[in-house]
A and B are shown apart, each in its own frame.
Chain A
């Protein structure tokens, strides 16, 4: 019991909480901590060994000139100093921001629209839900092939359609440095909206029908009911979806790889791909780790912002 008390004080102190005045409250806290950990522990053990430790190794490697084989030499902040001056890194960073800033709201809107549309009892809803999810399960190679074909500047249906509409000079899409990124964003949104739709669909089930009914009785319009009933109930799910979508967009990798491979030139080079290039192609794993850490910091900054914003809204 003595050790327990010590541990307890440490835990409480670690959390920055004031020293407990009354024993019963502190005992309850201790009990809660114990029970809380008993829930988290099975996952936490696996998580720590398999994910957290390698991630911490990665953080360490970002301060070395590791080439994957053998011993890594400590180089301090050299890698980070190099990042500041690396033109290609800047290019990749800007492209990633471009992708994220456009892709996140687009996908969120599309996924929410789909989820609301398909959260109803109607004939064929199972079919349509499955179809909406299909882009996510279809082989990404097939997706890249078909979309590239649709985007084909000369023979593609999209440009033929645009020409028929009277567009004189339709974009070159994936073969043009200006239009490659919009093309990739369109495909990214098309592919992922079903994925996030599924998560939002699950969240929508928590919206009590009675609340909707009551609001309707009060004469609230569909839009008002959406704003005042659906959205507030959906907040925890929306937080999850926006965080996952944000991180996913900043980490976009395989889609770019199969659609454009970063080209033409460096017009669609993104950070994840740059990490791959530096690590697995050029064997500069230390530097690649530093790029990863920078990507991590960006994601975590945005996530923290969302986290506190969500907390504030909740309160």
Chain B
């Protein structure tokens, strides 16, 4: 009896496998004629909680009933790139796929995994954010941006009022930010509230330094531009105005929890957080409180004020076409890209709380008509006006350099290495490992 059981189970397993295997093939046949119905596949992730892909697919299908866009679910986070790399290498990737950040773009365009879409880019509104980031060295464009999050300052109006500290007014430099963080901490430390929360990503320090720093160049091999930003972050940490890096990593703190549960009055974060915060306040996961969005503090007064354009950073999110796409589908795929990156796509995305790459007045209006979005003028200004510099300038060595700078980040923020020594070491490593500088 003991012998037969596993065999029986094995046989059942084999039968069930055959059945499920049949349902597995995602690639439909190429049911495409020049003007007949076309089915495009589009890669997305976490479809349940990330509606943007289905939204774009539906909106496009509504405008073009002949074309159906099937969204294929990929893993989220860094795993997206892993799975996509595997699929592209094996030739099983979807027709259209998302380029999460500019590092991925470099990888795929260098690997000839993107179709030339210069003609699509030529027809887009030149004001579309991040458009020029997708231009490769040969002068051709290999993707279009459909979404561009940029970094802003979220602040808790209730906590500011409680601490008696003046809210951001758009004129802030980092000195003002530091002062406010310390003042709030001093006033509210009894309640366990800190002035600000700086998440443990390298972006939270290095992104601003690269965008705003004088002569800052990721590929120069000279990282002294990072030093003032690190010294500022360490000073706030030492003063107790923000949770220290060690506590964030060892306790796996989340920025949603820290800001949403009112443990910090300010949070420099990307605009994607708006949709999350609204959803969490509605579901009760975050506290009920008044909040606003302000432009990120500036290096000096020259770019502050609502008549100037604040400098911040953010990578566009793009769409590209798999060069293995069926010849007959290329036109439809390009049209879909033009739609997603254009006015109609932008409107559809703004309706679900996403920051489209194209943010004109109409899009801003749609976005701020959403329930739960703060309605004040500064928030609107912060959302719509910014000079957004790329976090990962397009170059072959960007990924290598960012890895090295990530090591610098954890070494400096944990207090393991002094700022100057870490900057020096990073420069040497970039020189020997990336051949720069």
A residues near B (Cβ < 8 Å) are: 67-70, 85-88, 145, 148-149, 151-156, 172-177, 261-267, 269, 277, 280-283
Contact = CB atoms under 8 A, between A and B. Distances in A.
A69 B407 CA distance: 28
Interface of B: 81-82, 85, 88-89, 107, 110-113, 244-247, 249-252, 399-400, 403, 407-408, 410-411, 414-417, 422, 429, 432-433
A154 B246 contact: yes
B250 A87 contact: no
Given A68-B89, A280-B81, A283-B110, A156 B250 contact: yes
Nearest to B103: A281
Nearest to A87: B432
A153 B416 contact: no
B416 A148 contact: no
Contact of B111 (A264, A267, A269, A283): A283
Nearest to A280: B82
28 contacts: A67-B110, A86-B432, A87-B429, A87-B433, A88-B429, A148-B249, A148-B250, A149-B251, A149-B252, A151-B250, A152-B246, A152-B251, A153-B247, A155-B247, A155-B251, A174-B250, A175-B249, A175-B415, A177-B411, A177-B417, A263-B411, A264-B410, A266-B407, A281-B399, A282-B399, A283-B85, A283-B111, A283-B399
A153 B399 CA distance: 31
A78 to B, nearest CB: 14
A266 to B, nearest CB: 5
Contacts of B245: 175
Contacts of B403: 277, 281-282
A137 to B, nearest CB: 21
7 closest cross-chain pairs (CB), A and B: A265-B411, A69-B111, A175-B246, A263-B410, A152-B250, A177-B416, A264-B414
A239 B145 CA distance: 57
A70 B109 CA distance: 12
Q: What is the predominant secondary structure among interface residues of chain B facing chain A? A: helix
Contacts of B410: 261, 263-265
Contacts of A262: 407
Contacts of A70: 111-112
A295 B293 CA distance: 50
Nearest to B110: A67
A307 B342 CA distance: 65
Contacts of A156: 250
A263 B81 CA distance: 22
B400 A172 contact: no
A231 B61 CA distance: 71
Q: Which of B81, B416, B422 has the most CB of A within 10 A?
A: B416
Q: Which of B244, B247, B422 has the most CB of A within 10 A?
A: B247
Q: Which of B112, B410, B417 has the most CB of A within 10 A?
A: B410
Nearest to B411: A265
A57 B429 CA distance: 30
B112 A265 contact: no
Contact of B112 (A69, A173, A282): A69
B104 to A, nearest CB: 10
A85 B429 CA distance: 12
Contacts of A86: 432-433
B414 A67 contact: no
Contacts of B422: 265
Contacts of B107: 283
Contact of B252 (A145, A175, A177, A283): A145
A152 B250 CA distance: 5
A20 B268 CA distance: 80
A268 to B, nearest CB: 10
Given A69-B89, A88-B429, A283-B107, A265 B250 contact: no
B78 to A, nearest CB: 8
B111 A68 contact: yes
Q: Which of A69, A152, A173, A265 has the most CB of B within 10 A?
A: A265
Contacts of B417: 177, 264-265
B407 A263 contact: yes
Contact of A175 (B82, B414, B429): B414
A155 B192 CA distance: 14
B89 A176 contact: no
A69 B110 CA distance: 9
B431 to A, nearest CB: 11
Contacts of B112: 69-70
Contacts of B399: 281-283
B88 A153 contact: no
Q: Which of B81, B250, B252, B433 has the most CB of A within 10 A?
A: B250
A265 B407 contact: yes
A154 B247 contact: yes
A283 B250 CA distance: 30
B404 to A, nearest CB: 8
Nearest to A279: B85
Contact of B88 (A69, A87, A145, A173): A69
Contacts of A69: 88-89, 111-113
A190 to B, nearest CB: 17
Given A68-B111, A280-B81, A153 B407 contact: no
B91 to A, nearest CB: 10
Q: Which of A148, A261, A264, A277 has the most CB of B within 10 A?
A: A264
B108 to A, nearest CB: 8
Q: Which of B110, B113, B246, B251 has the most CB of A within 10 A?
A: B246
A263 B246 CA distance: 11
Contacts of B400: 282
B287 to A, nearest CB: 23
A266 B405 CA distance: 11
Nearest to B417: A265
Nearest to B244: A154
A70 B85 CA distance: 12
